[in-house]
């Protein structure tokens, strides 16, 4: 959530930062225009309230004077009643205006950091670096590899749940588990994250705290008749572990890693990646979350991204690091790096991790605060990133490890997690 004081103090610069996203900041029906008008209305109501209070004080003083002099104060008493009625009506208006203003603020995205490159689409994202040598020979897509090996069953997934669900069998099921364990061990043991195990269901307050609600309600699975949603990412429950808490600066940064299943309706992706397991309604992911100070946010982003990169390097999967431009960055993000793994069947890099700094945006929404040097509570900064999306990792391992005899070589670091298995072969 944007800072209310900054809305007034830095209105023009904040408006310019939002305009870089392609947000409508001029149209009368835009969320930004609505917030600006409601802010003006709130200030008007405050002025009216202060005037009424001054009038009440004046009349009250006059009543006291008249009564003290033994004079009739009935007219002033009647005037005081009218002032009280107006004050009550004004308080109700102010309460409604505050609720409307607070709801409107939730619709405003995070203003971008100055370092985010401008752009009109994802084509304007900026490549930062590459690692590894992409495989350039002809490789079948992972859905053919998986079916030929008997380890991916798309028909069973569709029968059990519908489209965009898959059943993994044998080596694929074990590799999914192996990838999860390997990632958690790496982040907890080598990178110093505290592992947590969290619910895969969150309430609306928790979803609002990290920015999934109200903006992305159509992408969520809601439990019928309950204030409960299946989580789209572990970012939601892990960040909200500190919901409405005040931390000491000495405790920061707090760094957690977590595995969860994730659930997304993918309402806006019809026709995209319909085959295979690149885009599923249910998928597994290991998430990295930092709770830190605003001063550390950008340096922590570099650190968090490097930790996600370490997974790809250990698996020997070629990838590139991309900085998202102003038109492609997420609603809650202030600055984002994507990691894209090489898929030889598609002859291109595909996203496997998105690492973002949110500044104090989520801290304000979720009430996550820390005490600064003066002891005053301030909204904390938050970050998160996939470390990594497990299903997409499995896809990359199948394609990059595929051999001409139809088998798949298993990365060396995964072999201990798969009982020493070095290669996946048919049956």
Residues contributing to the annotated binding site for L-serine = 233-235, 264, 287, 384, 386
- Of 345, 354, 356, 357, catalytic: 354
- Of 279, 296, 320, 371, catalytic: 279
- Of 356, 369, 392, 399, catalytic: 392
Q: Is 264 a catalytic residue?
A: yes
Half-sphere exposure of 141 (CA within 13 A, CB side): 10
- Of 264, 364, 365, 369, catalytic: 264
Q: Is 100 a catalytic residue?
A: no
Half-sphere exposure of 373 (CA within 13 A, CB side): 1
Known binding-site residue numbers:
233-235, 264-266, 287, 351-354, 384, 386
Known binding-site residue numbers for ATP:
264-266, 351-354
- What is the SS3 assignment for the chain? CCCHHHHHHCHHHHHHHHHCCCCCCCCCCCHHHHHHHHHHHHHHHHHHHHHHHHHHHHHHHHHHHHHHCCCCCHHHHHHHHHHHHHHHHHHHHHHHHHHHHHHHHCCCCCCCCCCCCCCCCHHHCEEEEEECCCCCCCCCCHHHHHHHHCCEEHHHHHHHCCCCCCEECHHHHHHHHHHHHHHHHHHHHHCCCEECCCCCEECHHHHHHHCCCCCCHHHCEECCCCCCEECCCCHHHHHHHHCCCEEEHHHCCEEEEEEEEEECCCCCCCCCCCCCCCCCCEEEEEEEEEEECHHHHHHHHHHHHHHHHHHHHHCCCCEEEEECCCCCCCCCCCEEEEEEEEECCCCEEEEEEEEEECCCHHHHHHCCEEECCCCCEEECEEEEEEEEEHHHHHHHHHHHCECCCCCEECCHHHHHHHCCCCEECCC
**Rounded to whole angstroms, how far apart are CA atoms 358 and 389?**
20
Cα angle value 17/20/26 (rounded, 5°): 80
Q: Is 351 a catalytic residue?
A: yes
* Residues annotated as part of the active site: 264, 279, 351, 354, 392
């Amino acid at each position: 959530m944007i800072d209310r004081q900054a809305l007034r103090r830095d209105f023009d610069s904040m408006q310019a930062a939002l305009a870089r996203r392609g947000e409508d900041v001029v149209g009368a029906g835009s969320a930004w225009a609505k917030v600006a008008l409601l802010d003006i209305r709130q200030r008007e109501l405050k002025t009216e309230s202060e005037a009424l209070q001054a009038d009440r004080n004046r009349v009250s003083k006059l009543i006291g004077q008249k009564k003290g002099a033994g004079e009739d104060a009935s007219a002033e008493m009647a005037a005081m009643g009218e002032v009280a009625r107006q004050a009550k009506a004004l308080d109700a208006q102010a309460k409604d205006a505050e609720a409307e203003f607070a709801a409107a603020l939730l619709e405003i995205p995070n203003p971008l950091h100055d370092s985010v490159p401008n752009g009109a689409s994802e084509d304007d994202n900026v490549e930062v670096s590459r690692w590894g040598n992409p495989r350039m020979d002809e490789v079948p897509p992972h859905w053919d590899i998986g079916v030929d090996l008997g380890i991916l069953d798309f028909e069973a997934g569709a029968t059990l749940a519908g489209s965009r669900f898959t059943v993994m069998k044998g080596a694929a099921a074990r590799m999914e588990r192996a990838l999860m364990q390997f990632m958690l061990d790496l982040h907890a043991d080598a990178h110093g994250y505290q592992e947590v195990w969290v619910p895969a269901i969150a309430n609306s307050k928790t979803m609002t705290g990290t920015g999934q609600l109200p903006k992305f309600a159509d992408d969520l699975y809601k439990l019928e008749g309950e204030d409960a949603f299946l989580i789209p990412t572990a970012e939601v429950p892990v960040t909200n572990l500190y919901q409405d808490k005040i931390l000491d600066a000495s405790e920061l940064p707090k760094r957690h890693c977590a595995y969860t299943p994730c659930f997304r309706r993918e309402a806006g992706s019809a026709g995209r990646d319909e085959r295979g397991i690149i885009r599923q309604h249910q998928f597994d992911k290991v998430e990295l979350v930092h709770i830190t100070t605003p001063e550390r946010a950008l340096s922590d982003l570099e650190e968090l991204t490097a930790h996600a990169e370490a997974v790809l390097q250990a698996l020997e999967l070629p990838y590139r690091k991309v900085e998202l431009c102003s038109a492609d960055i997420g609603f809650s993000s202030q600055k984002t790096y994507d990691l894209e793994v090489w898929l030889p069947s598609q002859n291109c890099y595909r996203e496997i991790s998105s690492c973002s700094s949110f500044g104090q945006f989520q801290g304000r929404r979720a009430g996550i605060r820390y005490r600064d040097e003066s002891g005053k509570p301030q909204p904390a900064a938050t970050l998160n990133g996939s470390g990594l999306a497990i299903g997409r990792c499995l896809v990359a391992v199948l394609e990059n490890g595929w051999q001409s005899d139809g088998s798949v070589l298993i990365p060396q670091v995964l072999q201990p997690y798969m009982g020493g298995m070095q290669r996946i072969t048919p049956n």
